Amino acid sequence: MKNKIIGLLLAFTLIGAAFSYAENRDCCDKPNWYVSATGSFGWHNDIKEKDVFGHEFKFSFKNNYGGSLAVGYIVDQWRLEIEGSYRTNKFDKVTLSGQTAALSNLSLDDRTLMVNLFYDIPVYDCITLYVGGGLGIDWVNFKYKYQGTTYTISSDTCFAYQLMAGVAYGLTEQVDLTLGYRLFGRTYADSVQNAPISNNIELGLRFKF
């Protein structure tokens, strides 16, 4: 994990250098900042894990919900942004040796800080397609809710990555309505046998200034 964090910090440094270069280009290229707010609905893949005795568990999830806030900078058709997000994934059931048991009041929550890079593709008047990707850090909490009180069972810090694509519609010159898809993934404990990922549909607003 230490090497991944160091690599991530180096990546952030390179992105920041590119950002500084863009900001100090010819004075005719005026800065174009924006802030955005997004809500999401998604589904998490099943997680397969082995305990110390070699027993394999499969955890299934219900649909997840989340949201994000970001601030970014536009250079030509490129956008660089810093994004903070929250996503809650409620457990549905666990399967062991063919036996299934329902899980209730358990959740896996993600709090992330990401650096994203997008490329915008104008297609028609106020309509723009976009593709992008991001790297960052995910603070993961495994929680249990009992009689109205939420308890944190365990927590971890993971490397996170994401891929995004979607469409933006210009409501005005300063405001865009966005609809997109996000594939979000993270590293996890060695006992997890498959990569934990979630698929998300997002709806948001972007305010340029």
Residue 18 vs residues 72, 119, 143, 209: alpha-carbon distances, Å: 13, 15, 39, 21
**Is the predicted pLDDT of residue 85 greater than 70, yes or no?**
yes
The residues spanned by each domain of the chain are 2-23+31-208
Q: What SS3 string covers 5-53?
A: HHHHHHHHHHHHHHHHHHHCCCCCCCCCEEEEEEEEEEEECCEEEECCC
Confidence (pTM): 0.81
Can you tell me the mean pLDDT for 153-162?
89
Task: Please check the confidence at residue 84 and state whether its pLDDT lies above 80.
Answer: yes
| Residue 27 confidence (pLDDT) | 41
pLDDT of 53 over the 90 cut: no
Q: What percent of the chain has pLDDT over 70?
A: 81
Tell me the mean pLDDT in the region 61-77: 95
Average pLDDT over the chain, rounded to whole? 84
Average pLDDT estimate for 172-188: 93
Class of domain 2-23+31-208: mainly beta
